[in-house]
Amino acid sequence: MKLKKLQTKRINDILFILWAGGAALLSYSLVYALRKPYTAAAFDGIDFFGIDYKVAVTMIQILGYLIAKFFGIKIISELKKESRFKFFIGSVLLAEGSLVLFGLIPTPFNVIAMFLNGLSLGCMWGVIFSYLEGRRVTDLLVSLLGVSMLIASGTSKSVGLFALNELSIDPFWMPALIGGIAIPFLVLMAYALKKLPAPTKEDIELRTERVTLNADQRKALFRRYSPIFILLFIANLLLLVLRDVKEDFLVNIIDMSAHSSWLFAQVDSVVTFIILALFALLTIFRNNFHVIIGLLGLVVISCMVMGYVSYNHETLQLSTTTWLFIQSLTLYISYLAFQTIFFERFIACFKVKGNVGFFIVIIDFIGYLGTVLFLLVKGILHRGTQTNWFDFYNDIAFLISGFCVILFTAAAYLLVKEYKYSVAGKQSVAEVEGEIQPSIL
């Protein structure tokens, strides 16, 4: 009888992972269809008051995204579960409307439409994540959500290139066309997430109950762990700037004339499976502290590899595909660790009263603020000049990876001290954390 109950439980877990994880993966992949297809276009020969047009479009979209993240610190922290579905649907419809305006408004003034696009989609990650957090299987669920970013990033650019090159779609109408196809599927995925059951009693015992946070509670939480948070937030700012440069200007960084339109999708598919496998391995650990330290170790190693390849790219003479694979793998391991598992386990480890959305919105807000300022300064300094995007990317990747190694190592040191302090007040380590256990599956 016991064995039968255990088998039933495992089957239910697998079905739930397929349902929740699949809906989350498809949801955010489709959000990218509303946000990133324009990056497939080079927009050569167009400027926005002296600034490269594509830099201007990217910067203005991220500015809208940034403002959404700022208000999202409050919105996501306080968003009640009964309001998620309406917020989801309203956001994607507004995003599609902005893409229609991008096609309707004359160039270069249509860049304003991309501000509305960024504003409408800035809180989507936090909303989708809120359906998944605080469960026994959250590590797997948010890993699937995280890799959706990778799948969608490459696919959206490849689909955009296919629409431009093979279907001869106007580059200003191409984003609206792709977004319009995605909308019905997004509504369906939103409904699937809405119908997910609430976390069980066992989920709450293992991962801590997730609650909303008012302004005073948010301030108190930040003050409590401020040295650790500051280090992590600065490092994530740098990673997000690098990720945005790579994702938004990849067709400028790489000469695509000798490659298939589907190169990005192919490379990102392989990277996706590797990262998903790495993160899935973490589900065998119930000890939350071991997981967050292990993640930081993995991130530090990734940054070291990224910096080495970026600095020595001329000596190594890697093929375009190999270079892109290494850059994508190392960058996304580092970036996604904090967009998925880290803060989920941090809350569980230190019994924090709050929710993961609060942390993710903050690191995104800080990161996108850095991206806007970075692109603004670049646009002004390089005004009227041609940028060698490949060399430019490798230079900043080397510098950022070096800083991140230092910041993440310091954060790991402080986390060890914090954990020892929290354990010191207990009768035994077991009262704070469970030991390594077999996978819940």
Q: Which CATH number does the domain housing residue 156 bear?
A: 1.20.1250.20
Residue 3 belongs to some domain of the structure: no
Residue 122 belongs to some domain of the structure: yes
Q: What is the pLDDT of residue 187?
A: 95
For residue 74, give every residue at least 6 positions away whose Cβ sits within 8 Å of its Cβ, in sequence order, or none: 215
If one counts every other C-beta atom within 10 angstroms of the C-beta of residue 138, the result is 27
Q: What are phi and psi of 51, to 5 degrees?
A: -95, 140
Residue 436 belongs to some domain of the structure: no
Residue 27 belongs to some domain of the structure: yes
Helix axes 215-224 and 226-248, enclosed angle (nearest 10)? 100
Residue 167 belongs to some domain of the structure: yes
Per-residue pLDDT tens digits of the chain, which is 441 residues long: 566 666 677 777 788 888 998 999 899 989 988 988 888 888 888 888 878 888 889 889 988 988 988 888 788 878 888 889 999 999 999 999 999 999 999 988 999 999 999 999 988 988 998 888 878 777 788 888 877 877 777 788 788 888 998 888 999 999 999 999 999 999 999 999 999 988 777 767 766 666 667 778 788 888 888 999 999 999 999 998 998 888 878 878 887 666 776 787 788 888 888 988 888 787 778 788 999 999 999 999 999 999 999 999 889 989 888 999 999 999 999 998 888 888 888 888 888 877 777 788 888 888 888 888 887 787 777 666 677 888 999 999 999 999 999 999 999 999 999 888 776 545 444 444 444 333 333
Q: What is the pLDDT of residue 42?
A: 80
Q: What is the pLDDT of residue 435?
A: 41
pTM over 0.75: no
Domain total in the chain:
1
Residue 249 belongs to some domain of the structure: yes
Residue 252 belongs to some domain of the structure: yes
Task: Report DSSP letters for 103-162, one per residue.
Answer: HHSPTTTTHHHHHHHHHHHTTHHHHHHHTTSSSTTHHHHHHHHHHHHHHHHHHHHHHHHH
Residue 276 belongs to some domain of the structure: yes
Q: In terms of residue numbers, what domain contains 151?
A: 9-431
Using the 8-state DSSP alphabet, how is residue 436 labeled?
A: P
